[in-house]
């Protein structure tokens, strides 16, 4: 198959969240399976700043959008994975420091800038159809969703259209007055179209246009069809349930692998985990913690938002400290949560450390040095943190929801079964209770066996890739 992926993030160059890791890994593994794979995204400054070489095409891309004629440049490159890359140069729209915004605030023109990107993508696909057409176009999340809408408008014979739903809480909703600037026809502003409670919804446009929908876990596929997690799209998603497939993300072993990871103080594998203790000691020293205390180290890695349950972690902190554990937190996000974590770390220097601007190597060291990884998310479509934790021999402590439920089996009291510690209610008490169970397990002689058990889990991309191939073959027909 000749597959085009449309995205706005790509690890390690342009990364806000897990989407960047998924896009990089999925396209790579489709390429490994023998498909021709192309990835298109805006020409962010970070691409070339990260060392990627881009070659400008001689012929510009010319198209009309929102009542204006646009002439933009296309840049080509090839990733180390062999995936072809097209970067669309849209001056003024994407030559900014942030991807979606800065300092916790979205750019006010996000709807228009991503709509312009999507229209340009549609033009790339339309022009390519005259020579060697794409078999499938797979767009990711709301910033790319309108590419499917524009393709339906432009091409009587479209490739197979797939929309990946990584987090339906983000939908690209704006006032109806901005519809013309997004290049969307007023004819489509109705309940069966892009209209959404009197506003415009970019994600809804993509859902309606796609031949198939994917999301990142089977449980999340069910959850988004309910009022609790559907964010007012549950009715439409129920109507399209026959076209919706949940596929759990994988872990790219070439990036996340304690056997080969260059960021670690010592490398280890499931057969010999001795150096995991060395990694923990090095991380404790890096964080300024006491060495040799015998305490378990629990870490949190992720965006500091309400969704990720950071406020629950803060509320549970007194109980966690009383359980005699050390806690390290890495992430950025809500300024109020950042300030609260800074305060907690300054007041409890022997047991709490906070790193706001954590580098990618430091994040790898967090997982390698951790005994426990805290994932108190209120909802989690899939989650990569718990998968990385298990890969590095750390036990996840997580809210039983979404992909966390699909990838973690709660440990029994005897530690004979299980791959982590789950709690049912998203509350500080629920989190503290699960951590206390994990704390008791840490002191058990069966702990090392539990670490080896989670490291043996098959979390690779091979199985998810095969499932995506099946979806693509269905939409091709």
**Domains of the chain with bracketed CATH:** 2-250+461-476 (3.40.50.2000), 274-455 (3.40.50.2000)
Q: Specify which residues 196 forms β-bridges with.
A: 199
- Rounded CA-CA distance 358/442 in Å is 27
- Rounded CA-CA distance 177/425 in Å is 41
How much of the chain exceeds pLDDT 90, in percent?
97
Rounded to the nearest 5°, which phi and psi values hold at 460?
A: -75, 175
The pLDDT of residue 357: 84
Give the pLDDT mean for 390-404. Answer: 98
Give the pLDDT mean for 360-372. Answer: 97
pLDDT digits (tens, 9 = 90+) for 308-351: 999 999 999 999 999 999 999 999 999 999 999 999 999 999 99
Whole-model pTM: value is: 0.94
Cis, bond preceding 355 (omega within 30 deg of 0): no
Give the pLDDT mean for 287-293. Answer: 90
CA distances from 408 to 161, 223, 258, 369, 401 (A): 32, 17, 20, 20, 10
pLDDT digits (tens, 9 = 90+) for 171-183: 999 999 999 999 9
pLDDT tier at 67 (50, 70, 90 boundaries)?
very high
pLDDT digits (tens, 9 = 90+) for 72-123: 999 999 999 999 999 999 999 999 999 999 887 899 999 999 999 999 999 9
SS3 118: helix
The pLDDT of residue 292: 84
Cβ neighbourhood burial of 152 (10 Å; 0-12, 13-18, 19+): middle
What's the mean pLDDT when you consider all of the chain?
96
The pLDDT of residue 262: 97
Beta strands 297-301 and 212-215 are unpaired
The pLDDT of residue 233: 98
pLDDT tier at 293 (50, 70, 90 boundaries)?
confident
């Amino acid at each position: 198959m000749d597959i085009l992926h449309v995205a706005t993030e790509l690890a390690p160059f342009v990364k806000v969240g897990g989407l960047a890791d998924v896009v990089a890994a999925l396209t790579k593994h489709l390429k490994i399976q023998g498909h021709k794979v192309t990835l298109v995204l805006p020409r962010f400054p970070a691409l070339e700043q990260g060392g990627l070489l881009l070659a400008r095409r001689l012929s510009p891309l010319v198209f009309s959008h929102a009542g204006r004629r646009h002439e933009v440049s296309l840049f080509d490159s090839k990733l180390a994975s062999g995936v072809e890359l097209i970067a669309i140069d849209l001056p003024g729209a994407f030559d900014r420091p942030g991807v979606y915004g800065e300092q916790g605030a979205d750019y006010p023109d996000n709807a228009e800038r991503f709509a312009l990107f999507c229209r340009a993508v549609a033009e790339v696909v339309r022009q390519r159809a005259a020579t060697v057409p794409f078999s499938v176009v797979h767009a990711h999340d709301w910033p790319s969703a309108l590419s499917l809408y524009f393709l339906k408008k432009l091409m009587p014979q479209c490739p197979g259209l797939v929309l990946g739903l990584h987090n339906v809480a983000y939908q690209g909703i704006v006032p109806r007055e901005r519809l013309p600037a997004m290049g969307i026809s007023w004819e489509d502003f109705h309940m069966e179209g892009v209209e959404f409670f009197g506003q415009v919804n970019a994600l809804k446009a993509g859902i309606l246009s796609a031949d198939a929908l994917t999301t990142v876990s089977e449980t999340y596929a069910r959850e988004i069809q309910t009022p609790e997690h559907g964010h007012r799209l549950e009715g439409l998603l129920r109507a399209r349930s026959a076209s919706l497939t949940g596929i759990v993300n994988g872990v790219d072993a070439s990036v996340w692998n304690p056997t080969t990871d260059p960021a670690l103080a010592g490398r280890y594998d499931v057969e010999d985990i001795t150096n995991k203790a060395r990694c923990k000691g090095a991380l404790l020293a890096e964080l300024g913690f006491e060495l040799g205390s015998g305490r378990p180290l629990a870490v949190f890695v992720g965006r500091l938002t309400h969704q990720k349950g950071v406020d629950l972690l803060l509320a549970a902190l007194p109980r966690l400290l009383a359980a005699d554990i050390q806690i390290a937190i890495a992430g950025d996000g809500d300024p109020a949560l950042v300030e609260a974590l800074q305060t907690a770390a300054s007041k409890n220097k022997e047991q709490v450390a906070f790193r706001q601007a954590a580098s990618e190597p430091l994040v790898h060291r967090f997982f390698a040095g951790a005994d426990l990884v805290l994932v108190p998310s209120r909802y989690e479509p899939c989650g990569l943190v718990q998968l990385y934790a298990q890969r590095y021999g750390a036990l996840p402590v997580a809210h039983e929801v979404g992909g966390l439920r699909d990838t973690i089996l709660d440990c029994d009291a005897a530690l004979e079964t299980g791959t982590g510690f789950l709690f049912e209610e998203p509350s500080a008490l629920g989190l503290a209770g699960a951590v206390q169970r994990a704390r008791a397990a840490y002191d058990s002689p069966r702990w090392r066996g539990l670490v080896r058990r989670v490291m043996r889990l098959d979390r690779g991309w091979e199985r998810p890739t095969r499932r995506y191939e099946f979806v693509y073959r269905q939409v091709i027909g």
